[in-house]
Amino acid sequence: MEAIHKRLQSLTLLIAEDDESTLKWLSRVLSLYFKEVRGAKDAMEALEFFTEKPSDVIISDIQMPQVDGLHLLQKIASISPKTIRVVMTAFNTPEYINRAVESEVHFYLKKPIDIDEFLVAIASNIPKEVTKNTLISIGKSYFYDTLQKLVIKEDEIIKLTKKEILFIELLLQNKKSIVSIEQIENSIWEEPVTTDAIRMVVVGIRKKLYQDVIENIKGLGYRLNLEQNLI
């Protein structure tokens, strides 16, 4: 299950289910594996959620009030063809199976769904580009894992604080330029902070990695010192 967890932890999931207890159970269990899990009580709410913020995977019950799950998944497919679409139902009749095929869903699961079966199905269907290139070199044999949000050096795993993670990611996003104090405040604290607060985060990163990983450009800001340290 560790391999499955690693493949799923960067994905977002939307669940459409009109049975409240089933929705709560699925949301609770699947939140252990996915980056984000949202639950919708019917198809209309699910479509609203998806329109506001698309998900990588959607699983929907077929029978729901007003609009059924297959119509919902057809609409999702027209909005985002790459979204993995899964339908679940207590009925296993030819009528439903034929409609599922016509709706081009990726998986058809019988209720109550087998969680392990669902996880394996999704993990095996993730496009390769979603899971590759998760390690970014930050010099001297240190790599930042964008999925697990930690630093790796050979067999050593180095855990970072939330602000250290945000700081590293901000510098990586702007690795060809200097990141200003204002950018740091807006991205990490979302409010003005003292230079000492920023300096403490930098000191923490340097202690966990190596001293010159982050360069302080006096009066301008900070940048990753990659040109000197990349190998």
Give the DSSP H or E segment for 52: helix 43-52
The C-alpha atoms of residue 114 and residue 135 are separated, in whole angstroms, by 32
| Domain ranges (residues) in the chain | 2-131, 135-229
Q: Is the pLDDT of residue 217 over 60?
A: yes
Same fold, 2-131 and 135-229: no
CATH superfamily of 2-131: Response regulator (3.40.50.2300)
Give yes or no for a contact between 33 and 5, defined as CB atoms under 8 angstroms apart.
yes
The C-alpha atoms of residue 173 and residue 196 are separated, in whole angstroms, by 23
Domain 135-229 indexed as CATH 3.30.1220.10? no
pLDDT one-digit tens code per residue, 48-95:
999 988 899 999 999 888 898 999 999 998 888 889 999 998 776 677
The C-alpha atoms of residue 70 and residue 188 are separated, in whole angstroms, by 41
The C-alpha atoms of residue 193 and residue 211 are separated, in whole angstroms, by 23
Give the per-residue pLDDT at 231.
Answer: 38
Mean pLDDT lowest among 6-15, 63-72, 141-150, 215-224? 141-150
Give the per-residue pLDDT at 225.
Answer: 84
Residue 146 banded pLDDT, cuts 50, 70, 90? confident
Tokens 């019917």 -> residue: 42
Model pTM score: 0.56
Q: Which of 37, 31, 29, 30 has its CA nearest to residue 12?
A: 37
Q: Which of 91, 154, 151, 115 has its CA nearest to residue 13?
A: 115
Q: Is the pLDDT of residue 135 over 80?
A: no
Give the per-residue pLDDT at 127.
Answer: 63
Q: Is the pLDDT of residue 229 over 50?
A: no
